[in-house]
C-alpha cells in the first residue's frame, strides 16, 4: 500500500519537475527572443540613422568642385598606412602621441569583441566564440582589457590636460563653446564605454562559477578575473545577471551613441583620416599650386607660347574661391577631417605674433559653412534659389543655391592677409590637411576676381603687372642683363 503511494508520489514529483523545467526553458527562451528583437530594432535604428547622417556629410563634401590631379597611387596608400593607420606624424609630440595611441589601439581592438556582441545580440546566445576558441579567446579578451585600462589612463590624462592644465592650443578663441564641450564629451563617452566592458566581463567571470551551463568559461582574463570577484563577489546570482546585462547593454549602446555622434563631432577624423590622407596633396611641401589660366597668360606675355586669340577674347574665368562651391571637394573633405588638435595654429608664426589668423579656425569655418548650406538644401526652402533660376516647379539644388553669403562671412580678410605661406601648418597637421590651400584660393579670389586687397599690397601688384617687377622701377626688369651683354661685346 505504502509502496504504491510512494511510487505515485514519485511519479507526480518527476512529472512536476519536468513541467517546471520545461517552464523555465520556455521563459528563458522567451527572454532571449525578446532581447534579440529589442537588440535588432535598436541596432537597426542606430545604424540606419548613422548611415543617413553619413550620406549627408558625403553630400556636403561633394558640394565642392572636382579638381582632377595626377596621383601616385603607391604613395597615396603609403600615406594611409603610415599617417592615418600608423599615426606617424603624431609622434612629433611624444606624450600626447602615446596617450592617443592607447585610445586608438583600444578602439580598434574592441571591434573584435563587438563582432561577438552583435552575434550574441541577434541570435540570443552568450559568448558565442568562447567554446570554439578556448585559450585564444582568453588571450584576445585579455589583450582588449589591458588596452582598455591603458585607454582609461589616456582618457583621464587628456581630461586633465584640457580642463585643469589648460593646454593653450585647446583654449584659443575658436574653441569656445561647442568645440570644447565636444572634446570633453567624447572622453566621457570613452569612460562610460570602459565601465560597460568591465561591468560585463567582471560579473560574467563570477557567474561562470555559479551557472557554468549558461556562462561559458572564458579562462583567466587579465583584468576581470581579479576585478570581477573584488567588485561583485558575494552578490546574489540575480544581481550579477543584472550587472552583466547592464554592462553588455551599456557597451553596445555607447557604441551606437558614438557612431551617431561622430557626424556632429571633430572625432569624425577616426573615419575620414583614411580617405583624406589618400587624397592629400602630393606636391612638395613648399610648392604652391599654380593656376593654369594665369600661367599660360604669363608665358604668352613672355613669348614662351603662342597666344590663342579666341582665348584672349573669351570672358575671364573666376579665379580662386569664395565659397565651398568653388573650393575643391578635397578641401571640404579636409575640413571635415580636421581633428581640431590645434597643432597647426600652435606653430603658425602669424598666430604666435597675435595676428588674427588661426589655420584651425579656417578649416572649422569651411566645415561650418558646408553644414549651413547642407541644412538649407535639406529644408528645400525656395528662398535659397538664385533669383534668375526661380520659377514654377523649380526645386532647390546646389546648382541654383544662393543665400547671399560666402566664406568671407565666416573668414575675415584680415585672417587670410596674415598668412605668410610658410607651410608650418601643413607640416604640423597629423592627418595631412593643408589649411594653406583654401587660404591661397580665398586670396586669389579677392585679388584676381574682386580686384581688391590690402592697400599696401596694390602698388606691388600694379608694378608686377606693368613692369614684371615687385618694385616700382621705371626701367625694364632685364635692363641690367642687356647692359651686361652689351659691355661684353
Q: Higher confidence at residue 139 or residue 451?
A: 139
At the second CATH level, the architecture of 292-454 is Orthogonal Bundle (1.10)
Residue 4 has pLDDT above 50, yes or no: no
Looking at residue 137, what is its pLDDT? 94
pLDDT value of position 301: 64
Q: Among 153-162, 196-205, 426-435, 469-478, name the one with the lowest average pLDDT.
A: 469-478
Report the alpha-carbon distance of residue 150 to residue 110 in Å, rounded: 13
| Averaged pLDDT for residues 172-193 | 94
User: What SS3 class is residue 86?
Assistant: coil
Lowest mean pLDDT among 325-334, 422-431, 451-460: 451-460
- Please state, in angstroms and rounded to a whole number, the distance separating the CA atoms of residues 366 and 438: 9
Any idea which residue has 582609461 for its cell?
Answer: 152
* pLDDT tops 50 at residue 7: no
Give the residue from 288, 291, 286, 289 showing the smallest Cα distance to 448. 291
Please check the confidence at residue 39 and state whether its pLDDT lies above 80.
Answer: yes
What does residue 169 show for φ and ψ, rounded to 5 degrees? -70, -15
Residue 401 bridge partners (DSSP): 385
User: Which stretch of 134-148, 214-228, 442-456, 469-483 has the lowest confidence by average pLDDT?
Assistant: 469-483
b/e sequence 23-51, b meaning 16+ C-beta within 10 Å: eeeeeeeeeeeebbeebeeebeebeeebe
Q: Check: CB of residue 329 under 8 Å from CB of residue 61.
A: yes
Residues 6 or more apart whose Cβ sits within 8 Å of residue 39: 121, 122, 252
Alpha-carbon distance of 359 to 349, in angstroms, equals 11
Q: Is residue 338 predicted with pLDDT exceeding 90?
A: yes
Look up the pTM and report it. 0.87
Confidence of residue 145 (pLDDT cuts 50, 70, 90): very high
Report d(CA 76, CA 86) in Å as an integer: 14
Mean pLDDT of all residues in 251-270: 94
DSSP 65: B
Question: What does the alpha-carbon distance between residue 324 and residue 332 come to, in Å, rounded to a whole number?
Answer: 7
Query: How do residues 367-395 score in pLDDT, each as one tens digit?
Result: 999 999 999 999 999 999 999 898 888 99
Q: Kindly state the average pLDDT of the residues 15-39.
A: 70
Residues facing 328 on adjacent strands:
65
- How far is C-alpha 365 from the chain's CA centre? 16
**Per-residue pLDDT averaged across 345-366, rounded?**
96
Confidence of residue 311 (pLDDT cuts 50, 70, 90): low
Is it the case that residue 484 has pLDDT exceeding 90? no
Q: What is the four-CA torsion angle of 377, 379, 381, 384, rounded to 10 degrees?
A: -30
- What integer best gives the mean pLDDT of the chain? 88
**Cα three-residue angle 77-79-85, rounded to 5 degrees:** 95
pLDDT of residue 440: 94
> All 3 cell numbers of residue 418?
596674415
Strands (E), 202-256: none
**pLDDT (0 to 100) of residue 24:** 59
Residue 460 to residue 463: CA distance in whole angstroms: 5
Instruction: Give CA 165 to chain center in angstroms.
Output: 25
pLDDT score of 14 more than 60: no
Q: What is the pLDDT of residue 255?
A: 94
- Is it the case that residue 316 has pLDDT exceeding 80? no
385: phi then psi, degrees, rounded to nearest 5: -80, 135
- Residue 312, pLDDT > 60, answer no
Residue 142 has a CB neighbour count (10 Å cut-off) of 19
Residue 32 CA, chain-centre distance (Å), reads 36
pLDDT computed for residue 211 by the predictor:
87
Q: How far is CA 118 from CA 64, 97, 441, in A?
A: 37, 31, 47
Average pLDDT over residues 309-320: 68
Amino acid at each position: 500500500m505504502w509502496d504504491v503511494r510512494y511510487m505515485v508520489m514519485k511519479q507526480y514529483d518527476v512529472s512536476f519537475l519536468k513541467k517546471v523545467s520545461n517552464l523555465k526553458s520556455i521563459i528563458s527562451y522567451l527572454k532571449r527572443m525578446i532581447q534579440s528583437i529589442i537588440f535588432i530594432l535598436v541596432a537597426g535604428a542606430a545604424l540606419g540613422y548613422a548611415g543617413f547622417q553619413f550620406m549627408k556629410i558625403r553630400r556636403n563634401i561633394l558640394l565642392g568642385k572636382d579638381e582632377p590631379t595626377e596621383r601616385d597611387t603607391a604613395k597615396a596608400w603609403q600615406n594611409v598606412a603610415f599617417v592615418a593607420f600608423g599615426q606617424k606624424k603624431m609622434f612629433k609630440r611624444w606624450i600626447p602621441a602615446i596617450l592617443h595611441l592607447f585610445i586608438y589601439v583600444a578602439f580598434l581592438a574592441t571591434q573584435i569583441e563587438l563582432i561577438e556582441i552583435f552575434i550574441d545580440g541577434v541570435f540570443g546566445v552568450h559568448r558565442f566564440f568562447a567554446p570554439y576558441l578556448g585559450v585564444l579567446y582568453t588571450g584576445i579578451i585579455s589583450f582588449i582589457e589591458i588596452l582598455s585600462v591603458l585607454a582609461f589612463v589616456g582618457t583621464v590624462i587628456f581630461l586633465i590636460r584640457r580642463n585643469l592644465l589648460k593646454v593653450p592650443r585647446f583654449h584659443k578663441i575658436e574653441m569656445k563653446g561647442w568645440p570644447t564641450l565636444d572634446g570633453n564629451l567624447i572622453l566621457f563617452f570613452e569612460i562610460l564605454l570602459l565601465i560597460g566592458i568591465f561591468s560585463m566581463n567582471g560579473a560574467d567571470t563570477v557567474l561562470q562559477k555559479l551557472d557554468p551551463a549558461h556562462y561559458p568559461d572564458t579562462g583567466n582574463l587579465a583584468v576581470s578575473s581579479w576585478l570581477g570577484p573584488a567588485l561583485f563577489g558575494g552578490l546574489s546570482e540575480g544581481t550579477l545577471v543584472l550587472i552583466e546585462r547592464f554592462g553588455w547593454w551599456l557597451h553596445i549602446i555607447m557604441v551606437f551613441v558614438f557612431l551617431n555622434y561622430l557626424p556632429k563631432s571633430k572625432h569624425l577624423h577616426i573615419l575620414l583620416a583614411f580617405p583624406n590622407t589618400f587624397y592629400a596633396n602630393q606636391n612638395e611641401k613648399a610648392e604652391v599650386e599654380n593656376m593654369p589660366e594665369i600661367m599660360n597668360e604669363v608665358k604668352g606675355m613672355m613669348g614662351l607660347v603662342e597666344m590663342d586669340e579666341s582665348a584672349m577674347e573669351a570672358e575671364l574665368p573666376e579665379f580662386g574661391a569664395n565659397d565651398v562651391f568653388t573650393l575643391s571637394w578635397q578641401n571640404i573633405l579636409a575640413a571635415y577631417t580636421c581633428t581640431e588638435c590645434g597643432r597647426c595654429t600652435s606653430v603658425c608664426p602669424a598666430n604666435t605674433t597675435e595676428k588674427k589668423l588661426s589655420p584651425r579656425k579656417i578649416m572649422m569655418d569651411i566645415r561650418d559653412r558646408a553644414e549651413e548650406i547642407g541644412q538649407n538644401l535639406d529644408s528645400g526652402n525656395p528662398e535659397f534659389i538664385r533669383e534668375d533660376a526661380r520659377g514654377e516647379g523649380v526645386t532647390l539644388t546646389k546648382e541654383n543655391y544662393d543665400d547671399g553669403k560666402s566664406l568671407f562671412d565666416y573668414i575675415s580678410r584680415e585672417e587670410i592677409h596674415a598668412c605668410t605661406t610658410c607651410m608650418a601648418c601643413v607640416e604640423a597637421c597629423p592627418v595631412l590637411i593643408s589649411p594653406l590651400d583654401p587660404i591661397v584660393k580665398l586670396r586669389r579670389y579677392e585679388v584676381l576676381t574682386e580686384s581688391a586687397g590690402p592697400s599696401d599690397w596694390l602698388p606691388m601688384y600694379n608694378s608686377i603687372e606693368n613692369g614684371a617687377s615687385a618694385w616700382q622701377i621705371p626701367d625694364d626688369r632685364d635692363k641690367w642683363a642687356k647692359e651686361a651683354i652689351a659691355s661684353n661685346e
